[in-house]
Homo-oligomer: A and B are copies of this chain.
Amino acid sequence: VAKTEELTPAALREKASWLLGQTSMHAHRMLIDALDAEDARPYHYRLLAALREFGSGSQAELGRHANLDRSDVVAALDELVDRGFVERSADPVDRRRNVISITQAGGAHFRKLDKILNTLQDELLSPLSPSQREQLIKLLRRVLEHQNGRSSER
């Protein structure tokens, strides 16, 4: 049996950016696999979550909430419209905008995906105790808030 712990150079293993990259890549693969069973993609979940939490809105607004590029919002919403999970309609007060609203089927779909995502978190964090999980999330959130602060200063 190969000792995978000794495969990776220490120079990499000790770097937070490396650990973040590896764990996040693995988590992302798990996510793709899990969503695939529902014919869904990570972008779908993000958009539906933003819609449920902030209500209907323009595509631009939605993209900012879900952290999607304006370009990718178009294509991802096309897919959600195809599946009947959201509706596009012209905004009567600002004719540049499309108003996106979530359908009933979309709400049900989101709840299903959210369950899948929650299960996935458990699997991902299974080697950690409950307090360690909280710790990890707290630390990551702090790093992320700092990053968001710095990038919005630019």
Contacts and interface: CB of A to CB of B under 8 A. Distances in A.
A105 interface: no
Interface in A101-154: 114, 117-118, 120-121, 124-128, 132-133, 135-137, 139-149, 151-152
Contacts of A145: 5, 127
Given A11-B53, A17-B27, A135 B135 contact: yes
Q: Which of A46, A132, A143 has the most CB of B within 10 A?
A: A143
Nearest to A145: B5
B16 A124 contact: yes
B135 A11 contact: no
Interface in A7-26: 7-17, 19-26
A64 interface: yes
16 contacts: A9-B50, A14-B137, A17-B30, A17-B120, A17-B121, A19-B137, A20-B24, A22-B67, A24-B24, A125-B143, A127-B142, A127-B143, A127-B146, A128-B142, A135-B135, A136-B143
Given A9-B52, A125-B143, 5 more contacts: A11-B49, A11-B52, A14-B137, A19-B137, A124-B143
Interface of A: 2, 4-5, 7-17, 19-28, 30-31, 46, 49-50, 52-54, 64-67, 114, 117-118, 120-121, 124-128, 132-133, 135-137, 139-149, 151-152
